[in-house]
Amino acid sequence: MNKKILTAALVTCLSVSSLTIPSLDQSSTVSAATVTNQASQQVVNAKADQLIQTAKSLIGKSTYSTAVYKPTYPYKFSCATFLMYVFEKNGVDLATYNENYMMQQGTPVAKGKWQKGDLLFFKSKTTGTDPDHVAMYIGDNKVIHMADSKQNIVISDMDSKPYYTDTYVGARRVIPSLLPSNPATQADNIVSLAYDLKDTATIGTINNENAKKFTSTGFVNYIHKKNGVTLGATTLSSLQSKGTTVSRSNLQKGDLVFFNSVKGSKNPSLVGIYAGEHRVVIPNSDGVISRVLFVDYYKDHYITAKRVINTKTESTPIEQVPPTSTGTTSADKVINFATSLTNKAKFGYVYNEKTLTFTGAGFTYYVFHKQGIDLKYKTASQQAKIGSSVLKSNLQKGDVLFFSTDNKRTTITQTGIFIGGNQFITLSTSGDVEKQSLSSSWAKLNYVQARRVLSK
């Protein structure tokens, strides 16, 4: 692939397009980049301490640069490349140098509720909507960050300057969501091996397992064979014919994702192994790289995805929630009742069951209340405290979704009910009960979090 394409996502704090990026330090190994919600708080704290220790160790050894990324002494980093390096050195793959893409990973964190290891985002530019600076929270109201060419890497108190309060736009918690699951699944092992080969495998025109030289198809064959799956493909096209097709909205770790070189073509020129949390590990002529699927190139050139491993031991797919004894799940009842209110319920800043007039959160409260489930509150921000947190990648029917309405994802003001198939039902501020896609531009700009209020 053209190097210009590969660096399309490498946008730094000042969005300088001339960034020069050499190979990563050979001592850097990423082998723990799979999604989980099973990591204990003790494990999370230990990982955060490792991140902070590495970040602090670079103070006085690194200089600020938006033109060059140099991961060896004397180091050169932008704000984003600094944290990408710190996380990668500790086995956590952010897979991007772009602050906006970082802000779409993990789960949102309310202001002031930060934990060590959280990423905090700032925007000082008056144009655009994306953040232009990122820092890592280290506890005691302090962050560590590559500040600028005068300060380089510094530790700052969030109350020390107006900048930190005036330009703050949000925070994301990427651990434990980017930590390995325990116990590891087959998909975890496949992803882990793919990462382990980043610094050792060469991708070209021959396959030599002993020398770790592979074609892109051979690379995928090798990783799966090592994990008990025989694919036997000789070309990308034959590899694309394996397994079962899955939608982009339902990707799971270990799925194969295919891309073309010409928009609209069905002929693959690139394959990646999905690593969870929007990340994909790709073998190509530049070696084995990891990227996030938010990048325009991967959106524009996406063809299809195939599931080639048995995922019964993975998280239960949305469509396979165990039925109740009556054959209908609680989630189905909630969704059916919400759907029945189409052309009946209307939006208004009141809660009136007689006239079926509600806010979005009031509508959600009413729907669940009628099925015997008390959400306790009729406001979106308070409902967001009910039940248990759910990763966007692990949504199930009946989960309650929370959105902002200002395209900033900072303040929760709207709700929806997940209905499967990457869709949700909501009482829109336009006045109607609507089914919408989580892939819509509005949802992407405003999705904040999800909560599970129904028991399995």
Residues 301 and 324 in one domain: no
| DSSP bridge pairs for 426 | 434
Pairing of strands 279-284, 270-276: antiparallel
Say yes or no to pLDDT of 7 above 60.
no
Residues 242 and 326 in one domain: no
Q: What domain count does the chain have?
A: 3
Range of the domain at 259: 186-307
Instruction: Tokens 């330009």: give the residue.
Output: 167
Yes or no: say if 64 and 148 are a contact pair by the CB < 8 Å rule: yes
Rounded to whole angstroms, the Cα distance separating 88 from 37 reads 20
Biggest alpha carbon distance in the chain? 73
Answer whether residue 179 is part of any domain: no
**Nearest-5° angle of CA 173, CA 316, CA 341?**
85
Residues 298 and 399 in one domain: no
Three-class secondary structure of residue 365 per DSSP: helix
- Out of 307, 327, 349, a domain closes at 307
Residue-wise pLDDT for 241-260, tens only, equals 999 999 988 899 999 999 99
Average pLDDT on 95-99 reads: 92
Residues 325 and 438 in one domain: yes
Residues 54 and 140 in one domain: yes
pTM: 0.62
Residues 41 and 162 in one domain: yes
- φ, ψ at 132 (rounded to 5°): -125, 10
| Six token digits for residue 436 | 């919408």
Rounded to whole angstroms, the Cα distance separating 224 from 67 reads 38
Band of pLDDT at residue 347, cut at 50, 70 and 90: confident
Residues 405 and 438 in one domain: yes
Answer whether residue 178 is part of any domain: no
- Say which CATH number the domain at 61 has: 3.90.1720.10
Residues 29 and 126 in one domain: yes
Answer whether residue 72 is part of any domain: yes
Answer whether residue 313 is part of any domain: no
Residue-wise pLDDT for 145-170, tens only, equals 999 999 999 999 999 999 999 999 99
CA 419 to chain centre: 21
Judged by average pLDDT, the poorest of 20-34, 256-270, 323-337, 359-373 is 20-34
Residues 200 and 331 in one domain: no
Half-sphere exposure in the Cβ direction for 125 (13 Å, CA): 11
Say yes or no to pLDDT of 1 above 60.
no
Identify the pLDDT of residue 328.
60
Burial of 456 (0-12, 13-18, 19+ CB in 10 A): exposed
Rounded to whole angstroms, the Cα distance separating 76 from 68 reads 6
Burial of 154 (0-12, 13-18, 19+ CB in 10 A): middle
Q: Comparing 403 with 30, which gets the higher pLDDT?
A: 403
Band of pLDDT at residue 182, cut at 50, 70 and 90: low
CA distances from 244 to 252, 256, 262, 286 (A): 12, 10, 24, 29
CA distances from 410 to 51, 138, 242, 358, 445 (A): 25, 21, 42, 23, 10
Look at residues 119, 108, 23 and name the one whose alpha carbon lies nearest to residue 70.
23
Identify the pLDDT of residue 141.
97
End-to-end CA distance of the chain: 45
Say yes or no to pLDDT of 40 above 70.
no
Answer whether residue 94 is part of any domain: yes
Residue-wise pLDDT for 277-324, tens only, equals 899 999 998 899 999 999 999 999 999 999 999 754 333 332 333 333
